[in-house]
Amino acid sequence: MDQTTVDIKALNERIQEESSFMDMLNMEMSKVIVGQKPLLEGMLVGLLSNGHVLLEGVPGLAKTLAISTLASTVNAGFSRIQFTPDLLPADLVGTLIYSQKNEEFLVKKGPIFSNFILADEINRAPAKVQSALLEAMQERQVTIGDETYPLEEPFLVLATQNPIEQEGTYPLPEAQVDRFMVKIVIDYPTREEERKIIRENVVGKFPVANQVIKPEQILKARQVVRDVYMDEKIENYILDIVFATRYPEQFGLEKIQHMISFGGSPRASINLSLASKAFAFIKRRGYVLPEDVRAMCHNVLRHRMGLTYEAEAENVTVDELVSEILNKVEVP
């Protein structure tokens, strides 16, 4: 027991040292983005866990600004791709172009060859384009012609989708949505935050985020995040939560059983564990607490559970079901 205590103490000190850049990163991003703390935390969790992020919110809530700000704080490449119904996979990944001078086909790489990819309004493009992006997300490589090209690390896709306009959109299938580590729903700013936003825009002087870290630091931090200590009790807590989405009746949640059409996949358990470790790292701690799991639960589970027609008819949301599960599952 003493050995474990000593190890955790040493690990905690190491993680406090390794995560020192998080304060600078937060400070630079908060200069540009007013409020929206859950959005910034969710993006950093994705970055530190090598997972992709799906953002959902009405227009004008600084989704695009948040992503470009994150890219500018890291000395890394940034590509913004506006998804439209006429977009083709080649517009994303690149294509072969015939050179008459050389009498051969040359590769013209697409905007996917960058570190931070903003896929703006991902649900506006047809399935072919979405699947091209998702192949790059999953395999971290792109095939053009006969050649396969690995993508540069760190590689992070931040996709946005607009929840209000459904005309002319192609909803992401569940299997594709599952590839996103977290789904963050962005809300309106508070009254005071909006006052600050108005003043900045009226004066026309906008703060600029400075570059504070290098890509190598992120890759190193990702290794450290995996070393964050997770007790077996916390592991069991994560498993209980995910299993409660599949078999609610086993956890005394019979009243929501008819509302869930399918629960979280094993990807939910993996990503909830990784997200909890990353969240502990952001909080500069070397071990995971139940609060870290609870903080990440909605982001990891909200796009991995299906609602039945009864739930939709009763206007029940996935977030409400996740809250019910968290209130019922015993905290270690």
Show me where the domains of the chain are located. Answer: 36-188, 228-328
| 296: amino acid identity, one letter | M
- Of the candidates 140, 89, 131, 86, the residue with the CA atom closest to the CA atom of residue 113: 140
Q: How far is CA 115 from CA 50, 83, 95, 309, in A?
A: 12, 18, 19, 40
Q: What is d(CA 90, CA 96) in angstroms, rounded to the nearest whole number?
A: 9
Task: Band the pLDDT of 109: cuts 50, 70, 90.
Answer: confident
- Judge contact between 150 and 141, C-beta under 8 A: yes
For residue 66, give both structure tokens: 């948040």
Instruction: Report whether pLDDT(2) > 50.
Output: no
pLDDT, tens digit, for every residue of 230-274? 989 999 999 999 999 999 888 888 888 888 888 888 999 999 999
CATH superfamily of 36-188: P-loop containing nucleotide triphosphate hydrolases (3.40.50.300)
pLDDT of residue 5: 53
The pTM score is 0.85
Q: Tell me which DSSP letter residue 204 carries.
A: T
Could you please state the CATH topology (level 3) that the domain comprising 228-328 is classified under. Helicase, Ruva Protein; domain 3 (1.10.8)
For residue 104, give both structure tokens: 């051969």
Instruction: Report whether pLDDT(315) > 70.
Output: yes
Lowest mean pLDDT among 1-5, 6-10, 183-187, 294-298: 1-5
- For 246, the enclosing helix (H) or strand (E) is helix 232-246
- Judge contact between 51 and 274, C-beta under 8 A: yes
pLDDT of residue 32: 78
- Measured at the CA of 110, the angle between CA 108 and CA 116, to 5 degrees, comes to 145
pLDDT of residue 241: 93
